[in-house]
Amino acid sequence: MKKLFYPALFHKAEEGGFWVSFPDIPECLTQGDDMTQAYEMAIEALGLALVCREKEHQPFPSSSDPTEITPDPDSFLAVIEFDMLAYKKRTSSRAVKKTLSIPEWLNEAAMAMDLNFSQVLQEALIAKIQA
């Protein structure tokens, strides 16, 4: 899966810091004490919102053209870059057992090389997903 880009509005909070909203994903809101924290929280909130949509088999919304969004006077627009694969690697690394079948000759050759089947499968799947 390639990277996704969504515009976010950073609003100045009365108590200091920023709160963040996403025009394309209304349920996605977050905040931070400063710009750095608000931006990091925006990435995390976006990830949570998109993963929830994915689990519910809802399509991801199309990203608005940032030039068509006019921020309020107390806010500004920033585009958030989101990498779903990196997010999933970081947040859901629980191992899942899989049963599979391979030809006997391949099993014997791999065992003779003392290969770790789980590691080889993971590396091959990651390479296939990133292609």
Domains in the chain with CATH codes: 4-91 (3.30.160.250), 95-131 (no CATH)
Q: What average pLDDT score do residues 60-78 get?
A: 94
Name the band, by pLDDT with cuts 50, 70 and 90, for residue 52. very high
- Whether the per-residue pLDDT at 128 is higher than 90: the answer is no
Placement of tokens 């859901």 in the chain: 92
pLDDT at residue 131, as a whole number: 63
Q: Where are the alpha helices (DSSP H) in the chain?
A: 35-55, 84-91, 104-112, 117-130
Pick the range with the lowest mean pLDDT from 26-35, 69-78, 91-100: 91-100
Please tell me the distance from the alpha carbon of residue 50 to that of residue 108, in angstroms, as a whole number.
Answer: 42
Stretch among 36-50, 60-74, 109-123 having the lowest mean pLDDT: 109-123
How high does pLDDT run on average in the chain?
91
What one-character-per-residue DSSP string does 17-40 give? Answer: SEEEE-TT-TT-EEEESSHHHHHH
Q: Which pLDDT does position 21 carry in this prediction?
A: 97
Residue 96 pLDDT level (bands cut at 50, 70, 90): confident
pTM (global) more than 0.85? no
What is the predicted pLDDT for the residue at 1? Answer: 58
- In angstroms, how far is CA 44 from the centroid of its own chain? 8
- Provide CB contacts within 8 A for 54, sequence distance 6+: 60
The pLDDT score that the predictor gives to residue 45 is 96
